[in-house]
A and B are shown apart, each in its own frame.
Chain A
């Protein structure tokens, strides 16, 4: 079934705004996607009709908010096919999920142990681990990326020494668009007995996510990159692991019993949710995922693949064009440089033409530098982008190149 893009576009109010007097052409979806009316209205409805603190009150409204909040957890668990809703911890997003892990997994890494990440990681899935390894005097090893932008599985496998206790990698690279073979990577890491953490920030909006199929131990995600609100996301964690790991922050609903000199803690996932949660955010995230489900992630994928292929073909015809990231399994991201031109100049001129792209190192400085670059231009796609927009974008890019050459 094909999706009706014009109907989808009508759901996203921001898409009909103008910038610099030109209709907005939004190609910065890797940074954050726009939000459909349904999500915006869900948040509004919560504050207008349901707002109350959760898990606390005896009163009607508190019970209502709690029910909706927990129902959202159950839906999200089902959406990524977790075995139980107890495996979903709400956080501010991917970055917080990974920082949480880098704290609570401390005892799983000792001096002399190793941890494996890949060279294509976002700073959020690199620096928390780097700092953990520094604290624990463990060694952080980085699996290189091939020039085409893929993980060489033979190298990955070889680097998985018996000393490796933790392995973390992105499901989809925000710079290269590479879809990593996460299931196979997890299988290999588990053979060594390592704990596997997947950074799913870029995956939710573009590909089906099934954590039991991947079989990873943890999976981190952000709502705002999948048509949901900012400031909310989650962490999937295998129940047996969450149960035995220590809390991250203290206070609020995560506490079971407390005296002045001691406290006991609630079971997971509440154990990891200190303080009043972002209830409106959680409901908005649920609505966003329902929106994706209604359109069908496979349909979205088909549409985005078509856009990607068309855009790639058009870009490749530009003299001096170098597309960064040519993985065989790739989605929704076009990172590129044009010989002799600075990405910042291209981005500035595109902006004047109403086109939002990102330029710079995309929070993956070591990766971008490994290509001998200080930055790229990145156009990243979402379900509401169209072939006509790709044409407008490439035409505008050619105009910018002409001005700069």
Chain B
């Protein structure tokens, strides 16, 4: 599936909830189910400083595709991370760089996208893009 298709499945899923409570309950479930990041990546090098909740992010390239794992000490942040991973992980770096992440708005999580929101989500997106750019450069130079 392309990023767009994956994003659409997320939008469709969230469209089933019309109440914010259910939406957040689902996000919390996703957060709890997020596969654990390898403990060795939960270090300062992988820490994205997001002021209040700590987020760790790891990216690696396999067969020209980028795979992401993440963790956070806040479960809602983890839930959002899990959405990002579901949509972006396993895609080519170039696709990730060009991806439209508007789906987070479409599912009603726009307040989490504000750069002043102290949850590290924006920094997380930036960090993913940074990894993607680095992988892309490396493959172009190789």
* A342-B21 in contact given A348-B76, A360-B118, A404-B28 (Cβ < 8 Å): no
- Bound-complex Cα distance A344 to B77 (A): 9
Contact in complex: B74, A345 (CB < 8 Å): yes
Indicate which residue in B25, B51, B75 contacts A360 across the interface (CB closer than 8 Å): B51
Contact in complex: A342, B73 (CB < 8 Å): yes
Q: Which residue of A has the minimal Cβ distance to B29?
A: A403
| Chain B residues positioned under 8 Å from A403 (CB to CB) | 21, 24-25, 28
Nearest Cβ on chain B to A352's Cβ, whole angstroms: 5
| Chain A residues positioned under 8 Å from B51 (CB to CB) | 360
Indicate which residue in A20, A344, A404 contacts B53 across the interface (CB closer than 8 Å): A344
A359 at the interface (CB under 8 A from B): yes
Contact in complex: B20, A359 (CB < 8 Å): no
B8 at the interface (CB under 8 A from A): no
Q: Tell me the B67-104 residues at the A interface (CB within 8 Å).
A: 73-77
Q: Tell me the A149-196 residues at the B interface (CB within 8 Å).
A: none
Indicate which residue in A342, A344, A352, A374 contacts B24 across the interface (CB closer than 8 Å): A352
B52 at the interface (CB under 8 A from A): yes
| Chain B residues positioned under 8 Å from A343 (CB to CB) | 52
Nearest Cβ on chain A to B117's Cβ, whole angstroms: 10
Q: Which residue of B has the minimal Cβ distance to A405?
A: B28
Q: Which residue of A has the minimal Cβ distance to B77?
A: A344
* A345-B52 in contact given A20-B20, A352-B20 (Cβ < 8 Å): no
Nearest Cβ on chain A to B54's Cβ, whole angstroms: 8
Against A, the Cβ 8 Å flags (1 = close, 0 = not) of B131-142 are 000000000000
Q: Which residue of A has the minimal Cβ distance to B118?
A: A360
Nearest Cβ on chain B to A56's Cβ, whole angstroms: 38
Q: Which residue of A has the minimal Cβ distance to B120?
A: A344
Q: Which residue of A has the minimal Cβ distance to B53?
A: A344
| Chain A residues positioned under 8 Å from B20 (CB to CB) | 20, 352
Q: Tell me the B46-68 residues at the A interface (CB within 8 Å).
A: 51-54
Contact in complex: B52, A359 (CB < 8 Å): yes
Q: Which 4 A-B pairs have the closest CB atoms?
A: A342-B74, A344-B74, A344-B53, A344-B52
With A348-B76, A352-B21, A375-B52 known, 13 other A-B pairs at CB within 8 A are A342-B73, A342-B74, A342-B75, A344-B52, A344-B53, A344-B74, A345-B76, A348-B24, A349-B76, A352-B24, A360-B51, A403-B25, A404-B28
B residues with CB within 8 A of A:
20-21, 24-25, 28, 51-54, 73-77, 118-119
